Amino acid sequence: MIEIINLSKSFGGLKVLDELNLSVRKGETMVVIGRSGCGKSVLLKHIIGLLKPDSGQVIIEDEKNIAVLNEESLNKLRMKMSMLFQGSALFDSMTVGENVGFLLTEHTKLSEAESAGKVKTSLELVGLHGIENLKPSEISGGMQKRVGLARAICSPSLAIVLYDEPTTGLDPIMADAINDLIIHLHDKLQITSIAVTHDMVSAYKIADRIAMLYKGKIIEVGTPDEIKRSSNKVVQQFIHGEAVGPITEGEEIKRNFL
C-alpha cells in the first residue's frame, strides 16, 4: 500500500530523515516508534503530502509518487487518506458536527442530509452520541481526541489513516480506550494504518508491525514480539526507557523545532 524509498529531509541544515526506507502492507497497522524530535511526525507529513522531500519517493498504491503530484492529483489521492493530528486540530469556531463533516462539505457533492448521516455514523463509531451541536471547547480532551478520530474516518473512500501520537496527553484509561478505538476502526473499516508514538504500551497493543526510527533511518522492523526480543541495543534501550547516548545540540534543536 505504501512504499517509502530513500526519503531524505533537512531543516536549516539539520538532517531529520536520512534515506529512510519503509514498506507498509495493505490492511496492516504499522507503528513507528522513536524518541521525541526524531522525525516521526515529519515522516507522516511526507506520506500525506504536507511536506515535500529533499530527495526520495513516497509511493501510494504502487503507482502514485506523492512527491511529484500536482495539487489537483494530490487532493484526489488525499480523499483516500486522513490524519489524526497530535492535538486533534479541531476548528474552535465550528461545532463538532461541522468539524467531523468538514471534508464532506468542502470536497464532495453530498446533500446536507447525507453529510449529516455520515457525521452521525462516524461519531457513533467512536462512541459519541448527540454532541454534534457542541463546540470543541465544551467537551473534554478525551472527547476531542475521539472527535478527531471521527473526522479522520468520515470519508466516502477512506483507505489509509495516519495517527500522530494518538495517546499523547491522555490518562492511562483514556489512552487505552483510544487504542481500543484504533483497533476497532481498523477491523471495522478494513483500512491501512500508520501510527507514530513513543508510547510502547500503545505500540504493542495496536501494531501488526513496529518500525524503529533512529537518526533519520528505520533501523529495525518486526512484529511486537520480534521487537521485544530484538538484539539491537538501540531498540532495547528505547523500549525499556533507557538513555540512548547523550542528547546532542542538533537533536535538541530538532526537538524544539519539530
Q: At 30, phi and psi to the nearest 5?
A: -100, 130
Who wins on pLDDT, 233 or 255? 233
The order of strands in the sheet holding 2-11 is 14-24, 2-11, 55-60, 64-65
Return d(Cα 96, Cα 102) in angstroms, integer: 10
Over residues 246-258, the pLDDT tens digits come to 544 444 444 444 4
C-alpha cell at 238: 528505547
pLDDT, tens digit, for every residue of 68-109?
Answer: 888 888 888 888 888 888 777 888 899 999 999 988 888 788
The runs of H, that is alpha helices, within the chain are: 40-47, 71-78, 96-100, 102-107, 112-125, 141-153, 172-189, 200-206, 224-228, 233-239, 249-257
Q: In angstroms, rounded to a whole number, what is the distance separating the alpha carbons of residues 142 and 38?
A: 26
pLDDT attached to residue 169: 80
pLDDT in tens, 170-219: 889 888 988 998 998 899 889 999 999 989 999 999 999 999 999 999 99
Does the predicted TM-score (pTM) go above 0.95? no
Cβ atoms of 16 and 216 within 8 Å: the answer is yes
Alpha-carbon distance 37 to 42, whole Å?
9
Per DSSP, 245 falls in state: S
Taking residues 207-234, report their average pLDDT: 96
Nearest Cα to 9, choosing from 19, 24, 21?
19
- DSSP 8-state code for residue 230: -
Amino acid 244: pLDDT: 55
pLDDT tens digits for 153-166?
888 788 999 999 98
What pLDDT digit, counting tens, does each position of 103-151 carry?
A: 888 878 888 888 889 999 999 988 898 899 999 999 988 889 889 989 9
Radius of gyration of the chain (CA): 18
